[in-house]
Amino acid sequence: MINRVLLLAAIVGIIVFGVLPVGAEDEVKRAFTDHTEEFHKVWVHLLWDIGIIGGIFLILSIYFMFAYRRKRDDQIGNGPKFTTMGMILGWALIPSFIFMADDFYLSAQGWKLWIDQRTVPENAMEVEVTGQMWGWEFEYENGAISDNDEGLVVPEGRPVVLRMKSDDVVHSFFIPRYRIKEDLMPGRVTYLWFYPKDKGEHVFTCTEFCGTNHSEMWGKVKVVSQEEFDEWSEKNKG
């Protein structure tokens, strides 16, 4: 009986945690969602989630480890015997459903964020990124060119989409501040986008091993005002 109640609870759990978040799109739609901010919400949820699961198991383990130490030399354990099918299945299926509910809950969160991360806003500024051993080249819509010493200069307040390709081996473009990376593959074009909301300088690095100077393939994303950007891109044309 108790097993059945728990089973029912687990199924309800799956529905509540797994399905509702997908439907509950309550926020007013902007033109786009800044996925860097969303990332943090999901990350915090996730830390709570794994913290609670880990905490429960850890506290139980530590308690058992101290509470059940051997008292007499000939003492043997007195653990539960799994003799009935109900007990075996109950202890297998109920936890499984709970884990599954949590998996679906996390999947839903991850999926939602993923859609934001992969949907490029329409007004995004396009930059072509080329990786080669061992440096980067950035080409802007107006023909301006930059590299890793000069930096990836972008204007504040406008989403940027990177169209990326590689001239030789696999590289990967990573901007920790914006929580994004994607590989650059010979023979393919991949993309990333981010929203440089405020002015500032942020590190970008290569994150796919590409030989001797892999660790020197880095530079700065420089977020500047629109005026500074216009001036800069005019100067770097051609």
Window 144-173: residues binding Cu ion (CB under 5 A) = 171
User: Does residue number 206 form part of the binding site for Cu ion (CB under 5 A)?
Assistant: yes
Window 126-145: residues binding another protein (CB under 8 A) = 133
Answer for the pair 124, 158: CB distance below 8 angstroms, yes or no.
yes
Residue 50 interacting partner from another protein, Cu ion, none (CB closer than 5 to 8 Å by kind): another protein
Compare residues 117 and 233 and give the one whose CB is closer to another protein.
Answer: 117
> Measuring CA to CA, how many Å separate 228 from each of 65, 141, 177, 220?
64, 16, 22, 16
Residue 25 beta carbon to another protein: minimum distance, rounded to whole angstroms:
16
Compare residues 106 and 144 and give the one whose CB is closer to another protein.
Answer: 106
User: Does residue number 206 form part of the binding site for another protein (CB under 8 A)?
Assistant: yes
Window 11-70: residues binding another protein (CB under 8 A) = 39, 42-43, 46, 49-50, 53-54, 57-58, 60-61, 64-65, 68-70
User: Does residue number 86 form part of the binding site for another protein (CB under 8 A)?
Assistant: no
Q: Classify residue 210 by burial, with Cβ atoms within 10 Å: 0-12, 13-18, 19+.
A: buried
User: Does residue number 6 form part of the binding site for another protein (CB under 8 A)?
Assistant: no
User: Does residue number 106 form part of the binding site for Cu ion (CB under 5 A)?
Assistant: no
User: Does residue number 210 form part of the binding site for Cu ion (CB under 5 A)?
Assistant: yes
User: Does residue number 187 form part of the binding site for another protein (CB under 8 A)?
Assistant: yes
Q: Which stretch binds another protein (CB under 8 A): 21-29, 150-158, 166-174, 226-234?
A: 166-174
Query: Can you say whether residue 99 is alpha, beta or left, with left for phi > 0 and alpha for psi between -120 and 50 degrees?
Result: alpha
Q: Which stretch binds another protein (CB under 8 A): 21-29, 109-117, 153-161, 223-231?
A: 109-117
The helix/strand/coil state of 190 is strand
Is the torsion defined by CA of 31, 231, 180, 169 positive or negative? positive
Compare residues 109 and 148 and give the one whose CB is closer to Cu ion.
Answer: 148
Residue 101 interacting partner from another protein, Cu ion, none (CB closer than 5 to 8 Å by kind): none
User: Does residue number 120 form part of the binding site for another protein (CB under 8 A)?
Assistant: no
- The secondary element (H helix, E strand) that includes residue 221 is strand 218-224
64 CB contacts (<8 Å, ≥6 apart)?
none
Amino acid symbol at 122: E
- The secondary element (H helix, E strand) that includes residue 53 is helix 35-67
83 CB contacts (<8 Å, ≥6 apart)?
none
Residues that bind Cu ion (CB under 5 A): 171, 206, 210, 214, 217
